[in-house]
Amino acid sequence: MLVAGGTGGLGRAVSLAFLEQGAKVVVTYRNQKEFDTLRSAAGANGSALEGRRVDVTDEAAVRELIDAVLAKYGRLDGLVNTVGGYAGGKNLWQTDAKVFDQMLSLNMRSGYVLARAVVPAMLKEGRGAIVNVASKAAVEHAAGAAAYAASKAGAVAMMDSLADEVKGTGVRVNSILPSIIDTEVNRKAIPSADFAKWPKPEDIARVILFLCSDEAKVIHGAALPVYGES
Ligand SMILES: NC(=O)c1ccc[n+]([C@@H]2O[C@H](COP(=O)([O-])OP(=O)(O)OC[C@H]3O[C@@H](n4cnc5c(N)ncnc54)[C@H](OP(=O)(O)O)[C@@H]3O)[C@@H](O)[C@H]2O)c1
């Protein structure tokens, strides 16, 4: 299992959930300290965890990563892309092109580069599951979040097309749409919020686990809301 961004607020919970199920998990990360934290949280399951420091918007680096994973493990059963980022709070005409490009790169290009690298190997195996984490903003386009909303809507559209392309091959492709997640970063950013209403990363991780499992074999090309009460 490959969890891109597997040390992040949601990614960590996804990585730990797969490890608990006995999967071998490769995570991409950028910050060594975050990977060390994940490894210690994995405890005894840590031996099934491997970390690779990779910028997943870099096509050559991702190809190298996938080649190495396939050489070592022989196949790749699933890809969960939790890499993404948010920038907002400004109107479209006040948004720097740099920020706009960054949103497209983190939220859309990451999914493209990863899928491009893993799909051929999954097609060869005749099985595989891809879950790309988008956002509620992909379908609800609020003021002050144009670049983010566009990048997430684009990511969903891209996964929809990919799902159509691989229909009937045994490879399944789905998106999930979180609203707000109960992460440390969000708690710090909105201290007055009612955290009890925010879905926990572990709750969303369970949905992702399900989508990657054979129990979800009839779910393909979906964009699943995981809003909880928020
Ligand atoms: N948190 C929310 O409330 C919320 C709501 C809706 C949707 N989402 C979506 O859910 C996903 C996960 O969110 P999150 O809160 O877990 O975010 P997060 O904590 O920032 O985690 C994102 C992870 O991706 C990594 N990353 C970022 N850019 C990368 C790159 N170019 N190459 C490789 N890794 C990279 C980060 O590494 P570093 O930490 O080292 O940069 C981090 O580990 C994102 O797609 C986000 O847009 C989140």
Q: Where are the domains of the chain?
A: 2-226
pLDDT (tens digit per residue) in 66-109: 999 999 999 999 999 999 999 999 999 999 999 999 999 999 99
Q: Is the CB of 135 under 6 A from ligand 1?
A: yes
For residue 148, indicate whether it is catalytic: yes
Instruction: Output the pLDDT for position 77.
Output: 98
pLDDT at 204 over 90: yes
Cβ–Cβ under 8 Å, residues 132 and 159: yes
Burial of 179 (0-12, 13-18, 19+ CB in 10 A): middle
Domain 2-226: top CATH class: alpha beta
Any residues with CB less than 8 A from the CB of 132 and at least 6 apart, and which? 81, 111, 115, 155, 156, 159, 173, 174, 175, 176
Instruction: Output the pLDDT for position 145.
Output: 98
Q: Is the CB of 200 under 6 A from ligand 1?
A: no
Mutational test site, ligand 1, from 181, 186, 188, 200, max ligand atoms within 8 Å of CB: 181
Mean pLDDT of the chain: 98
pLDDT (tens digit per residue) in 96-154: 999 999 999 999 999 999 999 999 999 999 999 999 999 999 999 999 999 999 999 99
Output the residue whose Cα is nearest ligand 1's atom 14.
9
DSSP 221: S
Output the residue whose Cα is nearest ligand 1's atom 25.
5
Instruction: Output the pLDDT for position 138.
Output: 98
Q: Is the pTM of this model over 0.85?
A: yes
Output the residue whose Cα is nearest ligand 1's atom 13.
10
Q: Comparing C-alpha atoms, which of 39, 43, 40 is closest to residue 27?
A: 39
**What DSSP line would sit under 18-44, residue for residue?**
HHHTT--EEEEES-HHHHHHHHHHHGG
Instruction: Output the pLDDT for position 222.
Output: 98
Q: For residue 230, name the pLDDT band (cuts at 50, 70, 90).
A: confident
**What DSSP line would sit under 51-95, residue for residue?**
EEE--TT-HHHHHHHHHHHHHHHS---EEEE-------SS-GGGS
- Ligand 1 centre to CA of 117 (Å) is 20
pLDDT (tens digit per residue) in 18-56: 999 999 999 999 999 999 999 999 999 999 999 999 999
- Ligand 1 centre to CA of 141 (Å) is 20
Angle between helices 110-125 and 146-165 (to 10 degrees): 10
- Ligand 1 centre to CA of 85 (Å) is 5
Structure token pair of residue 72: 């070592």
Instruction: Output the pLDDT for position 46.
Output: 97
